[in-house]
Homo-oligomer: A and B are copies of this chain.
Amino acid sequence: MNKIRGILIGRMQPPHKGHIEVIKRILEEVDEVIIGIGSAQQSHDLNDPFTAGERIMMLTHALVENNIDPSRYYIIPMEDINFNAIWVAYVKMMTPPFKKVYSGNPLVKQLFAEEEYEVYSPPLYNRKEYSGREIRKRMLKENNWENLVCPSTVKIINEIKGVERIKNLSQKEINEV
């Protein structure tokens, strides 16, 4: 059990090939990786279209599809805690013990650094295309988004009518009632 664990936290709206790439790289540096699905309570919003359960399902299948050893990762949904100073304790409560934190977010980095964790930027990959924002934008514009995510993710998004959901949510409101 004295394993070296790292944690990667992201909203994963949706999980994409960049996440898979990053997880593979992190697994070269640690024994086990904890993958935190951030803003777990959010969904049905243009920036956060998918529920925690949908994102967990997408990520799980994408990792299997990429032959990543399932005994080496934990997928854990994490709700937003609006008290920054408490957030690290919340993450600790929800996860196995870890030492290394991988994040590009300055707040996350600062909070963990103050609690004496080792903080790293996530390994490099093609960030311009492999980005949740880019994928959601393409879904809305009916541009090709499918090649930015894993085939199993395409299937799930089609099954749950994810693109239709995003398009519906983008419609202008018929006045304020």
Show the binding face of A for B, using Cβ within 8 Å. Answer: 1, 8-12, 19, 22, 40-45, 51-54, 56-57, 60-61, 64, 70-71, 74-77, 79, 82-86, 88-90, 92-97, 103-107, 109-111, 113-114, 121-122, 127, 131-133, 152, 155-156, 159, 165, 168-177
Q: Which of B64, B85, B121, B174 contacts A51 (CB 8 A)?
A: B85
* A to B CB contacts below 8 Å, 10 in the list: A1-B155, A19-B177, A51-B85, A105-B173, A106-B170, A110-B165, A110-B169, A127-B175, A131-B175, A133-B176
Q: Which of B19, B44, B93, B127 contacts A43 (CB 8 A)?
A: B93
Chain B: which residue is nearest A2 at the CB level? Answer: B159
Copy number of this protein in the oligomer?
6
Chain B: which residue is nearest A130 at the CB level? Answer: B175
Task: Give the complex CA separation of A177 and B15 in angstroms.
Answer: 9
Residue from A22, A64, A76, A127 with most neighbouring chain B CB atoms (10 Å): A76
Given contacts A8-B177, A177-B103, A177-B105, contact A44 B89 (CB under 8 A): no
Task: Give the complex CA separation of A33 and B64 in angstroms.
Answer: 16
Chain B: which residue is nearest A83 at the CB level? Answer: B41
Q: Which of B74, B84, B122, B174 contacts A44 (CB 8 A)?
A: B84
Contacts of A133 in B (CB 8 A): 176
Q: Which of B86, B95, B172 contacts A89 (CB 8 A)?
A: B86
Task: Give the complex CA separation of A61 and B175 in angstroms.
Answer: 24
